[in-house]
Amino acid sequence: MQTYLTLPQIEAFLVLEARASFSEAAAELGVSQPAFSRTIQQIETRLGVRLFDRDTRYVRLTAAGEQLRPIAMRLMKEYERSFTEFQSYVDGYLGRIRLATLPSVAATLLPGALRRFVQAHPGISVDVWEDVTIPVHMMVENGEVEIGLAPPPREGRALNFRRVLDDTLVLAFRVDDPLAQYDVLDWTMLRNRPLVAMSTDTGLRALIDRALETAGITRDVPQLFNCKYQTTALAFVAASLGVSVQTRLAIAQALPPGVTWRPLAGPSVERPIGLIVDPARSMMQHTRALMREIEREARELDIAFDLHGQRGR
């Protein structure tokens, strides 16, 4: 049967070894000398070996004590190092943040926010997972990530959503398409046009379907391909496979050569993007700091979109 010492016992052993005096060691640890003597006796009894030779004048380590000393010192140093590291985590100097978001959001909102955050918190690592809306919600809900950055979760999910940006729906098409002559497009102009559609497991698809229904043209728009990722849909547009309803962030992320875009009206549709967290989980201060940087970047991106106008070039 293996025998272990507690950390207070290891500390008592090391203090006595350093002081070579029961009275001085007891005073350093803030206990009475009889109580300290009992602690040393308990250690030796537990280990089954004498660790100190002592008489009225000297306290010296035995051979067994000499063997234990480097082990005890190593354990105490590791204990102190571990809790120093933990305190650095608590104070926001060390740690890891896991974030899940949409690819278009990752490519537009995160670069500037992460640049400032990493400069201010060099000891914090950030892991970024990219997926569509529903998996992002699930990762936050399951505790796989601390932050989600996506459209709001459906009602009934125990997640908090804080809006940072409205992502406007636009129509992407080739530059040689007759639609390029218009500054703003109406949804009814999609009638009988092949539409490179998004997958039904994306939140974007639900917004598009509702807008088509509002415009009364659901049955008049053939939806093709059901792409999971917006970059794929835009590549299909570039290949003359149809037009595609996309978001302003997706356009900013990766507009292929030969493709342009226009705002859509009648109705005008916006997709809110926000920070998603689980209110039941505690949040460290460096996680909050990253969220503040994302909110700042979203405000700056809103201004940039306004300055660049409301149509593709």
**Domain containing 55 — which CATH number?**
1.10.10.10
Domain total of the chain? 3
Q: How far is CA 237 from CA 34, 211, 240, 260, in A?
A: 85, 20, 5, 10
Residue 271 has pLDDT above 70, yes or no: yes
For residue 2, tell me if it sits in a domain. no
Match 């390029």 to its residue by tokens. Answer: 180
- Tell whether 266 and 169 lie within a shared domain: yes
User: Is residue 283 scored above 80 in pLDDT?
Assistant: yes
3-state secondary structure of 152: coil
Can you tell me the distance from the alpha carbon of 28 to that of 21, in angstroms, rounded to the nearest whole number? Answer: 11
| Ordered alpha helix ranges (H), the chain | 7-19, 22-29, 33-47, 63-90, 103-108, 110-120, 133-141, 203-214, 230-238, 248-253, 285-307
Structure confidence by residue, pLDDT tens digits, 93-141: 678 999 999 999 999 999 999 999 999 999 999 999 999 999 999 999 9
Report yes or no on 290 lying in a domain.
Answer: yes
Give 59 or 306, the one with higher predicted confidence. 59
The pLDDT confidence band at residue 254, using thresholds 50, 70 and 90, is confident
Calpha distance 167→269 (Å, rounded): 9
Count CB atoms within 10 A of the CB of residue 145. Answer: 23
Residues 171 and 255 in one domain: yes
In a domain, 24, yes or no: yes
Q: Is the per-residue pLDDT at 277 higher than 80?
A: yes
125 with 186, same domain? no
**145 with 236, same domain?**
no
- How confident is the prediction for the chain on average, in pLDDT? 91
What value does the mean pLDDT take over residues 278-300? 94
Q: Is residue 121 part of a domain?
A: yes
Q: Give yes or no: residues 237 and 176 share one domain.
A: yes
Q: Which domain holds residue 41?
A: 7-79
In a domain, 1, yes or no: no
The model carries a pTM of 0.72
Q: What is the pLDDT of residue 2?
A: 67
Distance CA 107, CA 97 (A): 18
| Distance (Å, whole) CA 157 – CA 216 | 31
Are residue 211 and residue 263 in the same domain, yes or no? Answer: yes
18 Cα distance to chain centroid: 46
Examine the fold and report which residue of 56, 79, 102 is the final residue of a domain before the chain moves on: 79
Same domain, 48 and 69: yes
Q: Are residues 118 and 159 in the same domain?
A: yes
> Burial, 139: exposed, middle or buried (Cβ in 10 Å; 0-12, 13-18, 19+)?
buried
Residue 212 shares a structural domain with residue 279: no
**Is the same domain home to 211 and 235?**
yes
What's the CATH number where 130 sits? Answer: 3.40.190.10
**78-82, 94-98, 277-281, 305-309: lowest mean pLDDT where?**
305-309
